[in-house]
Amino acid sequence: MEKEFKHIQTAHCENGVATSLLRYHGLDFMTEPLVFGMGSGLFYIHIPFLMVNGGPAVSYRSMPGWIFSRASKLLGIKVKRVKFSNEKAAQDFVEEKVRQGIPIGCQVGVFNLPYFPPEYRFHFNAHNLIIYGKENGRYLVSDPVMEGVTTLSPEELNKVRFAKGPLAPKGHVYYPELVPQVSQEQIRKAIVKGIRKNSRDMLYIPGPIAGVDGIKYTANHIRKWREKLGVRKAGLYLGQIVRMQEEIGTGGGGFRFLYGAFLEQASAYLQNDELRNISDEFTKAGDMWRESAIHMGRIYKGRMSEQKDYEQSADMLMDIMAVEKEAFKKLHKLNLKY
């Protein structure tokens, strides 16, 4: 049974690997927004005291790996995951899958990823790509954030699979082992459950640092940064927030547009117009995140640097929080049927 693997470019790498692999296994309805929504991908968290590349650790999405796991669980798909302590065994495993003609997802670090733009090669270890074959001694690679397919030599692949540091991939590979027929009802059920979980997480996760409350936590910090860190460092911190929010992989607006697209598709599946209206609110939130990025950009570009400018940044975040809180409350209250 030779099926042809098709490269699909997506905004986000994990969604992309999930979408491509599931479509390869016959789930033709699968789209990036659906994976993201079923996997309750939207999130916000500001982890205190932790520094990433010399800036605050904020994230606009769920933990790496969770989106695919949650989505496939809801659809009754079994995903096999393997990690390795031995580099040789890790390579043998990939060789075997290539021989069997089974495309597999692969977690890698980007610091040594040769086809990545050099300016983007930081020690970030939760990038995902697909190995779907081997030609002339090089692995055929479908990296969802790239426009086209690419290749890696066995040594290059080995190096990125065994990148070290936080979230070290340890050769992590994964692939759907059992993909059953998925009925329309199951799709609707997965959508509804994804929405319920996502609104619960964003509204009611305990503590001040995560969910919609996390946005307030960041806002309160921003008010103090200028005095505490000085203009230069405060600017770098704001830059870090913008990068996490807008960098390649987010689809723009800190994944909010992606979630809006999901609700739009959900509205069609569930024949529910209210979902379409709430989708517009997430579009609005995404637009507000982008305006906030422009404002922060003026600060780190040095065009403005007074305390009131930082206050305004914080106020903008508070407005975003209000919009998202309202939208998720509406989602939470919807009595969705599947």
Partner 1 sequence: MKKENLPQDQSALNGFTREVCYVKDENGTYTTGLSTGWDVKKDALDNAWDDIHERVNEAREAVKRGEKSPIYYFMELRLMDLPVLSGYTGFWRMTIKRHFKPQVFKGLSDQRLAAYAKAFDVSVDELKNFKG
Does position 28 interact with partner 1 (CB under 8 A)? The reply is no
The answer to the question of residue 10 lying near partner 1 (CB under 8 A) is: yes
CB of 34 to partner 1, least distance (A): 12
DSSP 297-321: HHHHTTS--SHHHHHHHHHHHHHHH
- Distance in Å, CB of 256 to partner 1, minimum: 9
Among the candidate windows 9-17, 171-179, 191-199, 329-337, which touches partner 1 by CB under 8 A?
9-17
H-helix or E-strand spanning residue 82: strand 78-82
Least distance (Å) between residue 12 CB and partner 1:
9
Nearer to partner 1, 175 or 313 (CB): 313
Would you give the binding string for partner 1 spanning residues 65-104, x where CB under 8 A is met?
A: ----------------------------------------
Q: Is the CB of residue 93 less than 8 Å from the CB of residue 173? A: yes
Task: Single out the residue of 146, 205, 209, 334 in contact with partner 1 (rule: CB under 8 A).
Answer: 146
Least distance in Å: CB of 91 to partner 1? 19
Q: Does 174 bind partner 1 (CB under 8 A)?
A: no
Burial tier of 247 (Cβ tally within 10 Å: 0-12, 13-18, 19+): exposed
For position 254 contacting partner 1 by CB under 8 A, the verdict is: no
Residue owning tokens 């996390």 = 214
Residues 141, 136: Cα–Cα separation, whole Å: 13
DSSP category for residue 62:
P
User: Which residue in the set 243, 325, 329, 332 belongs to the binding site for partner 1 (CB under 8 A)?
Assistant: 243
Are 77 and 265 in contact by the 8 Å Cβ rule? The answer is no
- Residue 37 tokens read as 């929504």
- Write each residue from 259 to 298 as x if it is in contact with partner 1 (CB under 8 A), else as -, in one continuous string: -xx--xx-------------x---x--xx--x--xx--x-
- Count of residues that interact with partner 1, criterion CB under 8 A: 54
Question: 37 with 173: CB under 8 angstroms?
Answer: no
Torsion of CA 272, 277, 278, 282, to 10 degrees: 140
Please pick, from the candidates 168, 209, 322, 336, the single residue that binds partner 1 as defined by CB under 8 A. 168
The residue from 63, 83, 96, 115 that contacts partner 1 (CB under 8 A) is 115
122 touches 53 (CB < 8 A): yes
**CA quadruple 271, 274, 280, 282: dihedral, nearest 10:** -100
9 part of the interface to partner 1, by CB under 8 A: yes
Q: Please pick, from the candidates 105, 176, 251, 254, the single residue that binds partner 1 as defined by CB under 8 A.
A: 251
Q: Which stretch binds partner 1 (CB under 8 A): 56-64, 67-75, 207-215, 254-262?
A: 254-262
List the alpha helices (DSSP H) in the chain.
13-24, 32-38, 66-74, 87-100, 154-161, 184-204, 212-246, 256-270, 273-300, 307-333
What does the alpha-carbon distance between residue 3 and residue 41 come to, in Å, rounded to a whole number? 29
Which residues are near partner 1 by CB under 8 A? 9-11, 33, 51, 53-55, 111, 115-120, 122-123, 145-147, 164-166, 168, 235-236, 238-240, 242-243, 246-249, 251-253, 257-258, 260-261, 264-265, 279, 283, 286-287, 290, 293-294, 297, 300-301
